[in-house]
Amino acid sequence: MAKLTVKDLDLKGKKVLVRVDFNVPLQDGVITNDNRIVAALPTIKHIIDNGGRAVLFSHLGRVKEEADKASKSLAPVAADLSAKLGKEVKFIPGVTRGVELEAAIDDLKDGDVLLVENTRYEDVDGKKESKNDADLGAYWASLCDGIFVNDAFGTAHRAHASNVGVSANVSQAAAGFLLENEIKFIKDSVDNPVRPFVAILGGSKVSDKIGVIENLLDKADKVIIGGGMTYTFLAAQGIEIGDSLVETDKIDLAKELLAKSNGKLILPIDSKEANAFSGYTEVKDTEGNAIDAGFMGLDIGPKTIELFKKEIDGAKTVVWNGPMGVFENPDFQTGTIEVMDAIAAQEGAISIIGGGDSAAAAINLGRADKFSWISTGGGASMELLEGKELPGLTALTEK
C-alpha cells in the first residue's frame, strides 16, 4: 500500500499512539468475544518488541451521558490484554486526558503498554471524539513523540478525533498490520481481482447494499444475491413474495439494477418459507421462486443452493457479505452453511468475508478458519466494497 505502515517506523524509545478497535461485547463486565483484541496483538507486539512505548486508544460502544460510563469502561479489556501479552497493561479508570494520564505516559519505559480509557467518554460533552474536535485530536497527539499507528479498521470509515484528528497533528501516521491486511484483502482484491471473481451479497435490505451492488456489478464476473433483499428483486419482476420482507420504495431501483446487470446478477430460484417469522407452524420449500400466500421466505431453498454452488465453482476470488437467510435460527441456516462450504471448497481461491453478520455466521458456525480473510469492520468493509475512500486511511502519511 502507498501509505506508511508500522514496519516503516523507528520505534525504539518512542511514545507511540495506537488506535485499536477494542469495541468488544461485554456481559456483566465479562468479554464474550475477544476477536478484536486478538486481531490487534501483532501490531502491539511489534511496537513493544521494537522498543516502543505503546499508548492505546479505543472506543467501546456509545457513551451519551454520564450514566453510560460505568458500563462502558475499558477496564475489563485492560485486564484481558494484560493476560494476552503476559505483562502489565497500565490503565487509569475514567481518565481520557489530564495530568494523571500525562504523568503515566511520561513514566512509560521501552516495551511498556498503557490503555487509555474509552475515547467515547469525550462524547458526553459535545461529542468531541465522534465529531473530530480539533483541540481533542491535537491534545491526544501531544501525548506521543510524533508517531501514530492506526490499526482500527472498524472505525476507519469515520473521521474521529482518535484517528483523523490525531493523524493531522503528528509527523508520522502509519497503518498497523490489521489495517494493512484489511486494505490488501478487501480493496486490492476487488480492484485487481484474480478471476473469475464472484461476489455474494445477502442481508435484509437492498438499501443497505445499493452502492456495493453497483460497484461490484462493474468489478465482479458474477454477483449472487441472497437473504431478505431477494424479495425486493423478485417483486421488481412481478413475482409473488407472500409476506416476505420487501422494500417497496426500492422496487424501481431493483428493476434498474436488473436491467443494467447484463446477466451478472444471480437470484434465488426457490426459498425455504414459513408461515410466520417466529412461532411458525409450517416450514417448507417452494416449488419455484414465488412465495406462497401467507408465507415468508426465510432462507434460500435446495435448488438455489445447487445453483449457487455451480456459480461459485471455479472462482479464484470470492467476496461474501451478508447471510443467505435467518442464520441465527437453525431452521433457516442451511443456505448460509452450504454457501460458506462452497466458498471454502474453492482450492487456491482468495476468499474474503466482509464483516458484520457474515463474519458472525462464519465464526458462530465454526467455519472461520476456512477463509483467507474475515474483516473486523462491517461498516468500513461495506464502504470499501462500494469503492469509497475511508477517512481513517486517507489521513495516514504517504510513503
Tell me which residues are annotated as active site: 36, 205, 356, 379
Residue among 282, 304, 303, 311 nearest 294 (CA):
282
**Who contacts 138 (Cβ-Cβ below 8 Å, separation ≥6)?**
165, 168, 169
Between CA 280 and CA 286 the distance in angstroms is 16
Q: Is 115 helix (H, G, I), strand (E, B) or coil?
A: strand
DSSP states of 166-208 = HHTTSSEEEE-HHHHHHIIIIIIHHHSPPSSEEEEE-SS-GGG
Peptide bond into 330 cis (omega under 30): no
Between CA 58 and CA 208 the distance in angstroms is 26
Question: 347 to each of 265, 320, 351, 372, how far by Cα in Å?
Answer: 24, 16, 10, 11
Distance of CA 127 to the CA centre of its chain: 23
